[in-house]
Amino acid sequence: MNSDSDSKKGYLWAKSRMPILNRIVRKYSKSKILSDFKLGMCLHITYETAVLVTALSRAGAMISLCPANPLSSKDHVIDYLHSEVANVKLFVNNREDYSSFYKNMDRVLDTKPQIITDDGGELHKKAILRSQNVVGGTEETTSGVNRLRMLSKDGKLTYPIIAANESIMKLLLDNKFGTGQSTIQGIINTTGVMVANKRIVVCGYGWVGKGVARVAKGMGAKVTIAEVDPLLAIEAYLDGFEVGPLEKLLANNDIFITCTGQFNVIGRDHFHKLKEGAILCNAGHFDVEIDVNYLNEMDPSHFDPRPNVTCYHTNRSQCKKKFYLITRGRVVNLVGAEGNSPEVMDISFSNQFLAIVYLSKAASKMTNRVYRMPKKLDKKLAQLVLAEHGVEIDSLTPDQISYFKR
């Protein structure tokens, strides 16, 4: 897709699959509720993101946008945003290195945004280090929320942040169902492997891990969970999955998927124990879960047998084996596939839109800490989704409401 018309078709397709956000923006664009607000955004640059950015622009916001991952930006989306969307400054160099990646975040902050929306916490960290005058922010990922909570605990947050990621709607539809599907899709697109009959290890049984394990099992894979949290481990076991330590799973499994937010989940002590031909990939936000730096040192002659698949050899104990890393350890569902479907991102970005509007009105009354998504917004979004799908539910009677108040 190279022409402007093709780029617009891609946007219109995504928009047509995002009815909740369309409904919300129709309400808020009339009043231009975000007029005079500057937004700084660090997100994966996909067509779904273009729908969100367009919606915020229609509500009156001035937007500066940079990518949340050096490999996740789509050229045709960049073309669309440049040519079609008003009030947007785009700072991106596709396939950029980390130096320009972080420089683009600085360029966003140079526009002096009042509200920051981030996917990973990097833009928030930079804003805090620069003592940026920000009134509030939102965060899209588990990794980012965890980082920001640590800053809050240390008293270093300089503005309130809404953990949009912790909306029940976002966790359920985006992290579990969306990323679960798109991660397996990314593996299939990149490698062409058949999932049925494969032995797959999912590292981490948080919301993303739950979704990945569920989809892999549904496609016929034999799934084992590696987990450090005893509560999540017992949940995985009661959900019908085998559970075991990663160390004991390396030699007998075909595909390993990290979903933890931690670094070096699969590292130098693991690679030589892998099964011949094993496939490694990451579904966490940052490319630190698999120790790629060590892999490149271990095998300087590594090569790509096909796009986004890198072959490495290990030669320890006179036993030469090969294994494969997908998408250089970066998030497989965005680099190897197109990320979550528009239907899923409709919920996540409606969430973000509502959180930004909430901050525009309430940030001055909030303290500098990380907040959960306000329950009334989560409930409002759930009601919109049910209405869109024509689903009716019961309501409490006056007597039942009275009973709860006793």
Is 119 marked within a binding site?
yes
Say how far apart CA 230 and CA 142 lie, in whole Å. 19
Residue 154 has pLDDT above 50, yes or no: yes
pLDDT digits (tens, 9 = 90+) for 60-86: 999 999 998 776 777 888 888 988 888
Residue 201 phi, psi dihedral angles, 5° rounding: -105, 125
Is 140 marked within a binding site?
yes
| Region of residue 349 (phi > 0: left; psi between -120 and 50: alpha; otherwise: beta) | alpha
Is 76 marked within a binding site?
no
pLDDT digits (tens, 9 = 90+) for 217-231: 999 999 999 999 999
pLDDT at 1: 42
Is 333 marked within a binding site?
yes
Is 313 marked within a binding site?
no
Is 254 marked within a binding site?
no
Which domains are assigned to the chain? 4-170+340-388 (3.40.50.1480), 178-335 (3.40.50.720)
Is 170 marked within a binding site?
yes
Is 208 marked within a binding site?
yes
Is 13 marked within a binding site?
no
pLDDT at 84: 86
DSSP annotation of 197: T
Is 210 marked within a binding site?
yes
Amino acid at 344: V
Amino acid at 52: L
Q: What is the 3-state secondary structure (H, E, C) of 3-37?
A: CHHHHHHHHHHHHHCCHHHHHHHHHHHHHCCCCCC
pLDDT at 96: 59
Mean pLDDT, rounded, of the chain: 93
Is 227 marked within a binding site?
yes
User: Nearest Cα to 335, choosing from 218, 182, 232?
Assistant: 182
> Are the C-beta atoms of residues 32 and 59 closer than 8 Å to each other?
yes
pLDDT at 95: 59
Is 46 marked within a binding site?
yes
pLDDT-derived band of residue 94, with 50, 70 and 90 as boundaries?
low
Bridge partners for 364 per DSSP: none
